[in-house]
Amino acid sequence: MAVGKNELPKFNVIDGLRLGVACAGIKKENRKDLVIIEMALGSACAGVFTQNAFCAAPVTICKQNLTNSIAQSSAAYLLINTGNANAGTGEQGMADAQECCRALGQETGVEDVAILPFSTGVIGETLPVEKITKSLSSALNNLSPDQWSSAAEGIMTTDTRPKGAAATVSYAGHTLSFSGISKGAGMIKPNMATMLAFVATDAKLSDELCHSLLTELADLSFNRITIDGDTSTNDSCILIATGSASAPQIEANHPDFPAFKATLKQVLVDLAQAIVRDGEGATKFVTVSVEQAKNKEEALETAYTIAHSPLVKTALFASDPNWGRILAALGRSPIPDFDLSKVAVYLNDVCIVEQGGRSASYREEDGQAVMDQHEILIRVVLGRGGHTETVWTTDLSHEYVTINADYRT
């Protein structure tokens, strides 16, 4: 029930990076569920991860290995499995994830620390290590620089379609390329909003700039999406810069840096929005924009209060212009000294609330026309300052309940 076009982009080949995919039978037989990404020695690599206290074993190990491997400039392989999250599995989960890293290290001749593991799927079940290790050679044997589409399928769980983004940008007279994939459909909410994302570029970045760019831009993309208000135990986003392009190293003071940064941001936003468009049971893609807030925190908290409201989300699913639900959610936002007389609320360009009540110009048929659309903007003007923040969310349908009720069967 995804919203919008079901098309993958034409991915760019990123020199210095290859992808391999296998069917390990982790949850279902004959389904792509194991992905290996090989990056050239010396690539810059950065990651941002879930802030859930019950973070999965692979997240813990990945963060440790990422720090160590960057220090050695030897991060070499990403190992990704779907069908099992290896979360809530205690010491056994750590041992299982380490064993998978050890096995891939033996297959490729690299140190365990050069393996970055990622898992997604059911929480609380032990990882089928033997199935994964037996399938490593199959994934390694089909490593190729043009396997982005297959890899996008190989990281899916409840996703109804694979997700990807690609772009190019000019820097110092050279063309730089980006390609990326993501997965996620439910248990989506920032702090790192279950989601995985892997983005690569052939640009040359220092480790420091790679990390600072990803941290800043993930906050403006993956940390601006929510489907159900649940933060996963496994969320991870990785940026790889192979440095294989002939362009000079990216520098923050270069005149082409803003264009490079904007292009990377757009790739991350495209991948994040693709997750929302494929939200479990989603029939609507909803933008919630809060303007004229005093600060970033106030704008975001207000936007999320509306985006997380079950009553707002079910009204969206029903295409019901019940604007009172938006008003009620807005009214319980944590805003001190809330002056209702300064507030205006819009559905797309239709003003529904102003000066503390229903807009004099509002007509029910205008609201209905907006709610009948598949893409909707809820715009709130607080009249308190100059800050604007935007989040993206979905409606809440019967299908969402069905998917999550049947998730383990």
**Torsion 332-333-339-340 (CA) sign:** negative
How far is 120 from 235, CA to CA, in rounded Å?
A: 8
pLDDT at 189 over 90: no
Lowest mean per-residue pLDDT among 170-174, 202-206, 330-334, 380-384: 330-334
Q: Are 287 and 389 in contact (CB under 8 A)?
A: no
Closest CA to 205 of 159, 167, 133, 254: 254
How far is 233 from 220, CA to CA, in rounded Å?
A: 20
- Note the pLDDT of residue 72: 53
Range with the largest mean pLDDT of 3-12, 64-73, 156-165, 264-273: 264-273
φ and ψ at residue 6, rounded to 5 degrees: -105, 70
pLDDT at 25 over 70: yes
Closest CA to 309 of 336, 328, 289, 281: 328
Going along the chain from its start, the domains and CATH numbers come out as 17-275 (3.60.70.12), 285-405 (3.10.20.340)
How far is 209 from 203, CA to CA, in rounded Å?
A: 12
pLDDT at 98 over 60: yes
- Note the pLDDT of residue 193: 44
Neighbours of 397 (CB within 10 A): 21
Neighbours of 47 (CB within 10 A): 28
Rg of the chain over Cα atoms, rounded to whole angstroms, equals: 22
Lowest mean per-residue pLDDT among 14-23, 46-55, 286-295, 340-349: 46-55
pLDDT at 208 over 70: yes
Q: How sure is the predictor about 278, in pLDDT bands with cuts at 50, 70 and 90? A: confident
Tell me the C-alpha to C-alpha distance, in Å, between residue 194 and each of 188, 221, 275, 408.
6, 15, 10, 15
- Give the containing element (helix H, strand E) for 311: helix 310-317
194 in catalytic set: yes
List of residues 6+ apart from 163 with CB closer than 8 A: 8, 152, 181, 182, 183, 184, 271, 274, 275, 278
Residue 193: CA count within 13 A, CB half-sphere: 30
How far is 145 from 100, CA to CA, in rounded Å?
A: 23
- Note the pLDDT of residue 407: 56
Range with the largest mean pLDDT of 68-77, 135-144, 311-320: 135-144
- Note the pLDDT of residue 294: 96
Amino acid identity at 341: S
Find the mean pLDDT for residues 270-284. 88
- Note the pLDDT of residue 214: 96
- Give the containing element (helix H, strand E) for 93: helix 90-108
Find the mean pLDDT for residues 363-390. 96
Closest CA to 307 of 389, 184, 212, 210: 389
The residue from 194, 201, 231, 287 that is catalytic is 194
For residue 333, give both structure tokens.
């936002």
CA-based diameter of the chain, in Å? 71
Q: How far is CA 22 from the centre of its chain?
A: 23
Residue 288 φ/ψ region, left for φ over 0, alpha for ψ in the -120 to 50 degree band, beta for the rest: beta
Using a pLDDT cut of 70, give the percent of the chain over it.
Answer: 92
DSSP 225: B
How far is 277 from 382, CA to CA, in rounded Å?
A: 27
* Beta-ladder partners of 35: 21, 80
Q: Are 234 and 93 in contact (CB under 8 A)?
A: no
- Give the containing element (helix H, strand E) for 149: helix 148-154
**Torsion 90-93-99-101 (CA) sign:** negative
Could you identify the residue written with the tokens 């990622």?
A: 118
